Amino acid sequence: MHRTYRALPCKRFTPGTTLRRPTMAKEVSVTLNDPARLVMTDFANVIPITELPTLSLPEANDRMIAYGVRLLFVTKNDDTILGLVTANDILGERPIKYIQKYGGCFNEITVNDVMTKRSEIEAISFDDLCNASVGQIIETMKMFNRQHALVLEGDGDASVVRGLLSTTRISQQLGIKIEPSNQARTFQELESVLISAA
């Protein structure tokens, strides 16, 4: 049986028309014993901010300010992750070291020049996170002296970045300031500390 459908009426844009953006839910207060998932920014619900490696540092800094974030994922056009860049990478020592080594000026440096490459990124397993407490996440981030940690779901070529952990967000949710430790930052550094202590 053929059914007849009625067309919808159309509306015109007014001068003040804007785009609807997702509203950030109010941060949930947590305790150290609460499930770690409560402090993860879940990319199943929030769209991560991505940029191409050719973006200049001033543009990257402007994007971070516009989106209210301190970390951008550097990707190919198909969303394959090449690395990540943080506000500290842009406004810290990396651009200065790059200029000292290669010359040029700040405005000519791209995200690719100062980002943390994919091969250097360490992440927490989503399965481990689901069985962890907020306190465990804080200790993990302190151990590696990190402000951000990524959460990886799946294995091998099927793995995806499921979420992001931020000490700033966790501090807000706990209502306390999380102090970084001066411990080693990588597994290799941990190993060298243990060897030198032996």
pLDDT in tens, 118-170: 999 889 999 999 999 999 999 988 888 888 899 999 887 778 999 999 998 99
pLDDT interval class at 33 (50, 70, 90)? very high
The residue-averaged pLDDT of 77-81 equals 89
Angle 116-118-122 from CA coordinates, rounded to 5°: 85
Tell me, what's the pLDDT at 195? 46
Tell me, what's the pLDDT at 18? 75
**pTM value?**
0.74
| Of 8-17, 38-47, 86-95, 99-108, the least confident | 8-17
Tell me, what's the pLDDT at 25? 59
36: part of which helix (H) or strand (E)?
none
> Rounded to whole angstroms, what are the CA distances from 31 to 39, 81, 137?
10, 33, 12
Tell me, what's the pLDDT at 26? 64
**Yes or no: domain 36-191 corresponds to CATH 3.30.1490.100:** no
Q: What is the DSSP string of 78-118?
A: T--EEEEEEHHHHHSHHHHHHHHHH---GGG-BHHHHSEEG
Please determine, for residue 117, whether its predicted confidence score (pLDDT) is greater than 80: yes
